[in-house]
Amino acid sequence: MKVAVRRVLGALLVAQGTLAVSPALAQQLPADSLRGSTAGRPVAQADTSRSLLDRLLDVFEFDLNQPAVAQRGAYPTRLVLAPIISYAPETSWGLGIGAKFLFKPRGVGADTRTSNIPVSFQYTLNQQYILYSGYTVFFNHENYLLRGNLRHSSFPQLFYGVGNNTPSSNEEIYDYRYTVLEPLLLRRVAGKLFLGGGVRHVRVSDVQLAPQSLLLDNSGQPRETGALGAISTGLETALTYDTRDNVLNAQRGTLAEVTHGWYGQQLGGQFRYELTKIDVRQYFQLATGRQHVLAYQVFGYLTSGNVPLLENGALGGGALMRGYYEGRYLDRNYAAAQVEYRRPLTNRFGVVGFASVGRVAARLRDFDFQGLHPAAGAGLRFKLVKAENLNLRFDAAFGDSGGTFYLNVAEAF
C-alpha cells in the first residue's frame, strides 16, 4: 500500500508540469495555430472561442518561426516548456524541466505527420537525476521514419526478486546508474508498413545494494547475471505497421510492431543474448455520435541466452498491467494482454474501464493460465486539446497485491 501512496503523491505533484506540456504532445497542431496570412492567400485566424485552459497553456509555448509562417505558410515550429516537480521516499524532492520540440522538416507536405523531440531532466535532493528523450521524426511523405530512445539516469527502483511468485516481503531498493541509446531508422515499404533497424546500447553501472540483498549470495557474489553492472550492445531490426487515426488517442486502426535484437561482444557488449518485443494494438469505433471505443493490446517480451538482470521482462507500470509497480514481477520472458472500453460523457469528460492479465516466466513452456496475474480498474478522462483528441487521464487500478493510481496525459495505449 505504501507504493500506492507514493504514486498518488508523486502523480499529483507532477500533474502541474504535465498539464503545461500537454499541447505539445499532439501529433498535429490545431488549424488555429496558423496565424496571419500566407503570400497571396489567407490562412486560419485564431479561434476567439478557445477556452481559458487553452489560453493559459499558451504561456508555455514558444513559436520559433513566426516570420516563415506569416510570409509563406510554413508549418509552425514550436518549443513547449514546463516545470517538473516530484517526490518519492527513495528519491526525496525532485525538480526539473520538460521540453518538447514540434516541427516538420522543410519542404514536407500535408501527408507528413508532425515530428516531435521531447526532452526532460529531473534532479533530486538526494543527488539523483534522470535525462530522457523518446523521439519520432517523419521525413517527406513519410518515406523514412527515425525513432528511438535516449536515457541517462541515477534513480533507484524497488526490487522483489526474479520470478512470477515473489512475495511483497522481499521488497528492497536497487540503486544504479542507467544509460540507454536506441536510434532506429525505418523505411516505408508499402502503405503504412515500415522496415528498418538500428543499434541499441544499454549500460548499468555504479550499483549500490544492501549487505543482505537478495541479489548477493553468502560470499557477496551476484546471484543474477549483470546484477552488479552490465554493458549490452546489439543490432536491432524493426517492422512497424500503423494505420491508427490518432497516435495518442486512436479510435480506429491497428498498430503492430516487432523488434528483434542480437547482443554480443562484437560491438563492445559483455553478454550474448537475443531480445524480441511484439506489440499489437487494435481499436474499434462502436458509435458514430459520441465515439465509443473498444481497444485491446497484446504484448510479448522474449529473451534467450545470457540475459542481464535489467534486460528481463518487467510486469507492471502505467501503460500495461496497471495496478502493479513496474518490475513487481521480473523474469526472462513476459506476456500480457489488456482490453479497454472508452466512453465519452460530454464534450470534455469521459470514463473508461479496463482489465488485463499477464505473467513472467523463465521459459516459454512455463507459461500457463494458472500463473496469470489479473488487474482491473476504471478511470476518468478530461479532454485537454479538442482538436487533437488529447486527454488528461486519471486511472485507479488494482492487482493481486493491492492497488495504485495514475495521473498522466494521453491514453495508456
The confidence band for 86, taking pLDDT boundaries of 50, 70 and 90, is low
Q: How many angstroms separate the CA atoms of 165 and 329, rounded?
A: 7
Cα–Cα distances (Å) from 76 to 52, 64, 69, 81, in that order, read 22, 8, 6, 16
SS3 79: strand
Sign of the Cα pseudo-torsion (302, 178, 18, 9, in order): positive
Burial call 185-194: b when 16+ CB within 10 Å, e when fewer: bbebeeeeeb
Burial call 76-113: b when 16+ CB within 10 Å, e when fewer: bbbbbbbebbbbbeebeebebebbbbbbbeeebeeebe
Q: How many angstroms separate the CA atoms of 166 and 160, rounded?
A: 6
In this model, does residue 320 exceed pLDDT 70? yes
Question: Can you name the residues that pair with 400 across neighbouring β-strands?
Answer: none
- Residue-wise pLDDT for 99-154, tens only, equals 778 788 877 877 887 787 888 888 988 788 989 888 888 898 889 999 889 999 99
Cα–Cα distances (Å) from 92 to 87, 326, 327, 397, in that order, read 5, 19, 21, 25
Query: How is the chain split among helix, strand and coil, in percent rounded to 5?
Result: 15, 50, 35
Summary mean pLDDT of the chain: 81
C-alpha cell at 315: 510486469
Question: Can you name the residues that pair with 180 across neighbouring β-strands?
Answer: 151, 202
Q: How many angstroms separate the CA atoms of 355 and 375, rounded?
A: 6
Q: How much is the average pLDDT of 189-202?
A: 95
- In the Cβ-directed half-sphere of 13, how many Cα atoms lie within 13 Å? 16
C-alpha cell at 320: 500495461
* Residue indicated by cell numbers 518561426: 65
In this model, does residue 333 exceed pLDDT 60? yes
Give 398: exposed, middle or buried? Use CB within 10 Å, 0-12, 13-18, 19+.
Answer: middle
**Number of residues that make up the chain:** 413
| Range in 83-92, 290-299, 351-360, 377-386 with the lowest mean pLDDT | 83-92
SS3 330: strand
Judge whether 198 and 219 are in contact, CB under 8 Å.
Answer: no
Burial call 280-316: b when 16+ CB within 10 Å, e when fewer: bbbbeeeeeeebbbebbbebbbbbeeebbbbbbbbbb
- Residue-wise pLDDT for 6-25, tens only, equals 443 344 333 334 333 333 33
Q: Compute how many other C-beta atoms are within 10 angstroms of the C-beta atom of residue 69.
A: 21
Percent of the chain with pLDDT strictly greater than 70: 78
Q: How many angstroms separate the CA atoms of 101 and 55, rounded?
A: 19
In this model, does residue 40 exceed pLDDT 50? no
Q: What is the pLDDT of residue 218?
A: 87
In this model, does residue 2 exceed pLDDT 60? no
Cα–Cα distances (Å) from 271 to 177, 213, 229, 278, 344, in that order, read 18, 23, 11, 22, 49
CA 290 to chain centre: 27
Q: Strands 172-190 and 115-124, how do they pair? A: unpaired
Q: How much is the average pLDDT of 271-300?
A: 91
The confidence band for 90, taking pLDDT boundaries of 50, 70 and 90, is low
Q: Regarding predicted confidence, which is higher, 119 or 288?
A: 119
